[in-house]
Amino acid sequence: MAAHEQFADDLVLYAVDALAGGERTSLEKHLAGCAACRLELEQLRGDGALLALSTVGPKPPLRARQRLLDAVAMEAAASSAVHRRAEQDARRSWWGWLGWAATAAVVVFAASLWRENTVLKRDALTWRALVGQQTLELEQARSVAGALTNPEAQRFTLVARKTPPQAQGKAIYVRNRASLIFLANNLPSLPPRKAYELWLIPLQGAAIPAGVFKPDAHGSATVINPRLPPGAEAKAFAITVENEAGATAPTMPIVMMGAGE
């Protein structure tokens, strides 16, 4: 039964000599071994002949005319359905391709924006670091200039004790701003793991640590704005040799000391 249904549409085209190619060959092979399909083919050819005679002769039986017309209509409907399915598949394929293309374009655009955003963030961080460093340097320069030119600044000269005055230090202190600038030269080199420590000697009370430092190869050193208690009144400044970490109280002997000028 399935074989007859497979060749039913081809029988109509074969009956009117409209079937060609491989389909015609396949149908002819089937007809050679199928009596039912050969009988159906003969009936279709007979119906076709009666339909052709209907224009010049007696009217053919309505049953024969209707069978042929139904068979032709079924073939046309099947062909139209195949054509519609082909068009729908083509449209789905086209829209599917467009969907993938749009997705790929969005991914590429997003990746480009991400790269540009990363570069901009990196540049912003670099400029922020540079501006921050320059701001610190500018503030330090302003502090040094303010201390050097402040009319209330006290100046202290520190000299070596019990030796010829070779090493020398200058301390500029602004009490109301707790600002201190210390400059030294010709300082002797230090033993390993040792450092010089500067001390503020107040009018009353214990000496106040004012910074740990080491001289360079030429014996020069500086201490700029160490942490000092606000308003401490200085009677003198002194220097001792301490461990690298510094001390909370001077270790004797005092190697340099100077009072206010």
Q: What is the pLDDT of residues 206-215, one digit of tens each?
A: 999 999 999 9
pLDDT at 123: 82
Residue 180 contacts residue 155 (beta carbons within 8 Å): no
Q: Is the pLDDT of residue 26 over 70?
A: yes
pLDDT of residue 70: 66
3-state DSSP assignment of residue 33 = helix
Question: Which tokens sit at 183?
Answer: 């400059």
Given this model, what pLDDT does residue 229 score? 93
Write out the CATH class of domain 154-259: mainly beta
pLDDT in tens, 44-81: 777 666 555 555 444 545 555 566 566 656 655 655 66
Those residues whose C-beta lies under 8 Å from the C-beta of residue 154, and which sit 6 or more positions away, are: 171, 172, 173, 174, 175, 234, 260, 261
Position 56 scores a pLDDT of 47
* Segments making up each domain of the chain, as ranges: 2-93, 154-259
Q: pLDDT tens for residues 153-174?
A: 888 888 766 665 588 999 999 9
